[in-house]
């Protein structure tokens, strides 16, 4: 009886290589598939208009603001004159994004508080995103969490008058130290700016007016906490990750209608 030739045995080393290749394929499919699955199962973004703010919108189900004109008032610590800001619809765009936004980039107005836990993650994320070049960010101080928040906000804006906002924002965000005058003078020295001027400017009319402008904007958009932002024409409040941020930026870039703010 003729023997049939048996199938050649796979070499052990070859068999191991095949097993590793299969395993690598499974792992790659799992990770790549997870990202693809997430994109396929993400619900479409749905928006609803913000009453009394033509052209602006919330993600559907978000908070809604009201009132055609917001008025905010702040008393300076030194007993000086009150500072008030009155904000009309016509002034919204300039107040949000400044007088000369770059039309080639998506504009983001970001509202933050130095004692806000989630802001400690969102602030560096936005700073990194701006460096990538696709967006332009206007930073708004919204000190809602007490006196320490207020002092830190004033210090950061006073530092902006001397070109040191970024340094102060990074150092003050979530800092354990109380931002008292000695600590602020130390920061000013590290930033190579005038510490005495910084302390004076903290209670200046331009600094107080900027804080009140941010409060007035927050009231118009219904922001009752931080972080909050207006991405192009879309308002969003609360912790946000990079994936959602990218989706909102993409939605602004792909919008069929012209941007609310030119």
Could you write out the three-class secondary structure of 104-127? CCEEEEEEECCCCCCHHHHHHHHH
What is the mean predicted confidence (pLDDT) over 169-190? 93
What is the mean predicted confidence (pLDDT) over 150-154? 96
What is the mean predicted confidence (pLDDT) over 35-61? 75
What is the mean predicted confidence (pLDDT) over 31-57? 72
What pLDDT is recorded for position 11? Answer: 55
Specify the higher pLDDT residue, 64 or 241. Answer: 241
Specify the higher pLDDT residue, 229 or 258. Answer: 229
pLDDT above 70 coverage of the chain, percent:
74
pLDDT tier for residue 240 given thresholds of 50, 70 and 90: confident
pLDDT of 212 over the 60 cut: yes
What pLDDT is recorded for position 70? Answer: 41
Query: Looking at 76-85, 113-122, 193-202, which range is the least confident one?
Result: 76-85
pLDDT of 175 over the 90 cut: no
What pLDDT is recorded for position 69? Answer: 38
Q: Which of 17-31, 40-54, 227-241 holds the top average pLDDT?
A: 227-241
What pLDDT is recorded for position 171? Answer: 94
What pLDDT is recorded for position 43? Answer: 74
What pLDDT is recorded for position 57? Answer: 93
What pLDDT is recorded for position 137? Answer: 96
What pLDDT is recorded for position 51? Answer: 87
What is the mean predicted confidence (pLDDT) over 22-33? 47
Q: Is the Cβ–Cβ distance between 112 and 229 less than 8 Å?
A: no
Distance (Å, whole) CA 87 – CA 93: 11
Distance (Å, whole) CA 262 – CA 253: 13
Q: Is the Cβ–Cβ distance between 51 and 222 less than 8 Å?
A: no
pLDDT tier for residue 90 given thresholds of 50, 70 and 90: confident
Structure tokens at 169: 């924002």
Torsion of CA 255, 96, 129, 159, to 10 degrees: 170
The chain-wide mean pLDDT, for the chain, equals 81
Query: Looking at 11-20, 36-45, 47-56, which range is the least confident one?
Result: 11-20
What is the mean predicted confidence (pLDDT) over 216-223? 92
This prediction has a pTM of 0.77
pLDDT of 169 over the 80 cut: yes
């Amino acid at each position: 009886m003729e023997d049939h030739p048996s199938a050649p045995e796979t070499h052990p080393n070859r068999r191991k290589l095949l097993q590793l290749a299969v395993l690598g394929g499974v792992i790659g499919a799992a990770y790549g598939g997870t990202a693809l699955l997430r994109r396929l199962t993400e619900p479409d973004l749905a928006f609803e208009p913000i009453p009394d703010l033509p052209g602006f919108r919330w993600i559907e189900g978000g908070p809604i603001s009201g009132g055609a004109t917001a008025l905010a008032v702040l008393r300076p610590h030194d007993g000086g004159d009150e500072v008030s800001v009155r904000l009309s619809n016509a002034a919204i765009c300039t107040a949000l994004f400044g007088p000369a936004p770059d039309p080639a980039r998506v504009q983001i107005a970001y509202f933050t508080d130095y004692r806000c836990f989630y802001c400690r993650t969102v602030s560096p994320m936005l700073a990194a995103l701006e460096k990538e070049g696709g967006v332009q960010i206007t930073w708004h101080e919204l000190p809602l969490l007490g006196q320490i928040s207020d002092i830190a906000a004033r210090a950061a804006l006073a530092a902006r008058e001397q070109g040191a906002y970024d340094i102060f924002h990074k150092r003050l965000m979530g800092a354990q130290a109380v931002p008292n005058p000695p600590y602020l003078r130390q920061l000013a020295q590290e930033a190579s700016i005038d510490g005495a001027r910084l302390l004076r400017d903290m209670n200046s009319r331009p600094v107080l007016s900027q804080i009140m402008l941010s409060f007035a904007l927050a009231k118009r958009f219904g922001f009752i906490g931080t972080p909050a932002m207006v991405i192009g024409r879309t308002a969003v409040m609360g912790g946000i990750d990079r994936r959602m941020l990218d989706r909102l930026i993409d939605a602004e870039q792909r919008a069929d209608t012209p941007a609310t703010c030119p």
